[in-house]
Amino acid sequence: MPGMSDLRLRPATVDEIPDLLAFWARAAEGTSITDDPEGVGRLLARDPEALIVAERDGAVVGTVIAGYDGWRCHLYRLAVDPAQRRQGIAAALLAAVEERFAALGGRRADAMVLDHNELGQHAWRAAGYGPEPAWTRWVKPLG
């Protein structure tokens, strides 16, 4: 099994957006209205360090979006290559985003996790996150 020493974490680049969308299609659970080149491009233009990629041997093996709006820390698209799960990749990504948030002055991070995504819920719980039963997310698509 590969070790963590060969795992490299770095910000995503605009030129790899098509590859990231393909990665999410196979490694992430569900889709978002912004899962397109324009949506990811806007994210990277606004905050070039928000989308963190884990790579091994030049291949993307994990991602997480760590959005900070100056008030709240939001996490999206924590995804790990199905063939490389349970090797600490998600934990390494979450440690990196928590460090990023702390450096930015963030005080609490929240994550979007689908109710039916039991594997994802297990990963979030293992990292110390838990559901907030007092809140329900309300959404309205724009446009």
Per domain, the residue ranges of the chain are 4-126
Residue 73 has pLDDT above 60, yes or no: yes
Mean pLDDT across the chain: 89
Nearest to 62 by CA among 17, 111, 7: 7
Are 74 and 67 contacting, i.e. CB atoms less than 8 angstroms apart?
A: yes
Element of type H or E holding 23: helix 17-27
Residue with tokens 């949506």, as numbered in its chain: 39
Quote the pLDDT of residue 139. Answer: 78
CA dihedral for 50, 51, 56, 62, sign (positive or negative): positive
Give tens-digit pLDDT for 88-115: 999 999 999 999 999 999 999 988 888 8
CATH architecture of 4-126: 3-Layer(aba) Sandwich (3.40)
Whole-model pTM: value is 0.88
- Look up residue 95 and give its amino acid: A
Give tens-digit pLDDT for 7-39: 999 999 999 999 999 999 999 876 777 788 999
